Structure 1
């Protein structure tokens, strides 16, 4: 279980809206103190003051892609509250487009925020946690790490990277009292697919009708997703306080159904092509 205090300190990135803002609320409701990080924290300051949380919330300007900005935010958090017990790596966005449509710069920017930004924050906070031999690193992955579709391959690739990095860290840091958890929701009813959060690749190739079809389906289902963001935030609080949390958890009936279908297909292919797969193994050694 985390923390050596009755008021653990949480750091939440991407805290100004969506699941990030709900995690801030849920953590505060549980009695925690919260460092709410966002590129523009002005709305967080206003919200914390209006809700009567000014003494328990530190809103910091943080661009997760900028290591100097991240280090300054971590330093401010430790100066104010003395520790960081839980970090929720939530900052990220969807860049939609087919593989051929995506430019090298668009791919770099997506990985920059979704993966390298997460690594910047994690590397900066781990020394604080190691010093206390306690901590939780909660990484927002997605069912898209396991299941992709036309147009979402880049996002899936970033979330698969998050998932594997998170699980590796859980094995690496467990003996130090630090646990890492990859949270993989299905569809959640936030502004994630709105124009303010999601982006479209600048190149559009008409031939890729499957990409355009999925794009229309995502747009039609926006704000109709079955996942409750407040409940996601509450589950994250539960995970942070578990004695033995999972290294990966899927949230939502749609996520569970999708991973079950994927595992069934993969295992079926294992059996179908077993002889071919085994043929590369040396024998008689």
Structure 2
């Protein structure tokens, strides 16, 4: 039976993905720093395997993977790196510690999970890694500078690792949605002009459906939503100055 291990599983996209894959018969593993919310979700999913985890703790990451994969003959069909944090605001108004925390969780945490997962993925036919990227990994996005930087890193890591790990039969891809209605977005105190102009037209369940699509037919990058798929295709063929002009208009205060 196929299995999936999800970081950031306690709420939002991670929780929606866990519900969808569980409903479709996969064995689901749940990881998150929010243990109480994680336990509630696990109970909802008939006692799904779960463990509290800070993805920036390398030793804890290795232990969590070992514990989950031990229940599945040392195999891991799909790692979904969904854990991430976000902060909207002017760059100089956000503390340096907060900028570093965003990079630490969104990049270092993802690297540690993926590195530790390698032996289990290698041991599994048709293994995959799906990384949670963003539309802001395509365009540098004002008022979410460090988040955008982290998603550029995720996009580059995804492209490079998909090429490198093909020799092991492991596919690596990412999802690139624009704004999604999740607790992480709803809790922000600053509204970027880009969000105001583009709107929030996706729900967590829409991204979970994209994870399912990716698990069935891997793409390196999977833009999510019709409007962003058009923007993504446009960006592949237009000059960089025009893409930058577009983002400048969208983010104008």
The TM-score with structure 2 as length reference comes to: 0.86
**Cα distance between partner residues in 1 of 2:49 and 2:169:** 25
Aligned residues of 1:88 and 1:137 also touching (Cα < 8 A): yes
Aligned residues of 1:86 and 1:138 also touching (Cα < 8 A): yes
The TM-score with structure 1 as length reference comes to: 0.77
1:49 aligns with 2:43: yes
- Structure 1's 32 and 42: CA in aligned 2 closer, same or farther, altered over 3 A? same
Aligned residue for 1:24?
18
Aligned residue for 1:193?
185
- SS class of match (2:85): coil
- Structure 1's 10 and 267: CA in aligned 2 closer, same or farther, altered over 3 A? same
Instruction: Pick the aligned partner of 2:113 from 112, 115, 121.
Output: 121
Aligned residue for 2:72?
81
- SS class of match (1:96): coil
**Cα distance between partner residues in 2 of 1:160 and 1:194:** 23
Aligned residue for 1:176?
168
Q: Which has more helix, going by share of residues?
A: 2
**Cα distance between partner residues in 2 of 1:106 and 1:267:** 30
Aligned residues of 1:35 and 1:58 also touching (Cα < 8 A): yes
Structure 2: tracts of 5 or more residues without a match: 244-253
Q: CA RMSD in A?
A: 2.5
- Structure 1's 110 and 22: CA in aligned 2 closer, same or farther, altered over 3 A? same
Structure 1: tracts of 5 or more residues without a match: 1-6, 201-211, 271-285
Instruction: Pick the aligned partner of 1:228 from 198, 203, 213.
Output: 203
Instruction: Pick the aligned partner of 2:4 from 7, 10, 13.
Output: 10
- Structure 1's 265 and 221: CA in aligned 2 closer, same or farther, altered over 3 A? closer
Q: Which runs of 4+ in 1 moved over 4 A?
A: 267-270
Q: Which has the larger radius of gyration?
A: 1
- Structure 1's 248 and 139: CA in aligned 2 closer, same or farther, altered over 3 A? same
1:149 aligns with 2:141: yes
Aligned residues of 2:58 and 2:112 also touching (Cα < 8 A): yes
Aligned residues of 2:15 and 2:41 also touching (Cα < 8 A): no
Deviations 1:124-172 (A, max 9, x none): 1011112335410000000010123321221111001001101111001
Task: State the 1:191 CA deviation.
Answer: 1.8
Task: State the 1:81 CA deviation.
Answer: 2.7
Task: State the 1:85 CA deviation.
Answer: 1.0
Aligned residues of 1:27 and 1:34 also touching (Cα < 8 A): yes
Provide the aligned length of Structure 1 versus Structure 2. 242
- Structure 1's 262 and 100: CA in aligned 2 closer, same or farther, altered over 3 A? farther
Q: After superposition, where does 1:255-270 map in structure 2 within 5 Å?
A: 255-263=228-236, 265-266=238-239
Aligned residues of 1:9 and 1:84 also touching (Cα < 8 A): yes
- Structure 1's 15 and 153: CA in aligned 2 closer, same or farther, altered over 3 A? same
- SS class of match (1:158): helix
Task: State the 1:267 CA deviation.
Answer: 5.5
